[in-house]
Amino acid sequence: MIGYLLYLTASRPDIIFSVCRCARFQAAPKESHLTVVKRIIRYLIGTISHRLWYPRLNNFNLEGFSDADLADDKDDRKSTSGTCQLLSKSLISWNSKKQGSIALSTTETEYIAIGQCCAQLLWMNHQLSDYDLSFKPVKIFCDNFSAICLSIILCIILEQSI
């Protein structure tokens, strides 16, 4: 069932966090995990009319959003990042991923999520340049002021060192 749900996340970004969370327990599933999977399926049945919409637009802009939580996994204290990327206000890429390192603060967790979002946006910008579409600057939105300040300060330091 998890494989089926993971396949659906390609067109249903609203379930990606829950499905990825359930996928972590595939090696040793319990009855409670099956209950959560059934709840996700019931949600999908109730929201079958939800879909992605891509209107025809002439102006293009590329932007990303990132978010993270601190020590979401109680077993190993690792955080989860989520990012989404939009082209002209239409969602074209999204992910939810457990971070590889243990963050000591919310700022660090959010900064890692910004980095993941930035990497995806850089790749997308490079791919879209093949179609003569260039996006400068690309906006990244984050809800943590300290992580934003850290990003800006590091960019200033990098510019001064070049």
Provide the CB-side half-sphere exposure for 28 (13 A, CA). Answer: 0
Residue 155's pLDDT band (cuts 50, 70, 90)? confident
Separation of alpha carbons 137 and 121, rounded Å? 11
Contact between 26 and 33 (Cβ < 8 Å) = no
Q: What is residue 134's predicted lDDT score, i.e. its pLDDT?
A: 80
Q: What is residue 80's predicted lDDT score, i.e. its pLDDT?
A: 93
CA distances from 75 to 71, 79, 106 (A): 9, 11, 18
| Sequence-ordered list of residues with C-beta below 8 angstroms from that of 57, at least 6 positions apart, any chain | 88
83-133 pLDDT, tens digit each: 999 998 899 999 999 999 999 999 999 999 999 999 999 999 999 899 888
SS3 label, residue 19: helix
Separation of alpha carbons 79 and 100, rounded Å? 8
Q: Which residue has the tokens 């946006």?
A: 121
22-73 pLDDT, tens digit each: 998 888 889 998 999 999 999 999 999 998 888 887 778 899 999 999 988 8
pLDDT at 6 over 80: yes
Residue 148's pLDDT band (cuts 50, 70, 90)? very high
- Compute the average pLDDT of residues 138-149: 94
Contact between 39 and 98 (Cβ < 8 Å) = no
Domain boundaries, given as residue ranges, for the chain: 2-46, 62-161
Omega cis (within 30) before 137: yes
SS3 label, residue 55: coil
Q: What is residue 72's predicted lDDT score, i.e. its pLDDT?
A: 84
* E-state strands within the chain: 62-69, 80-87, 90-98, 139-142
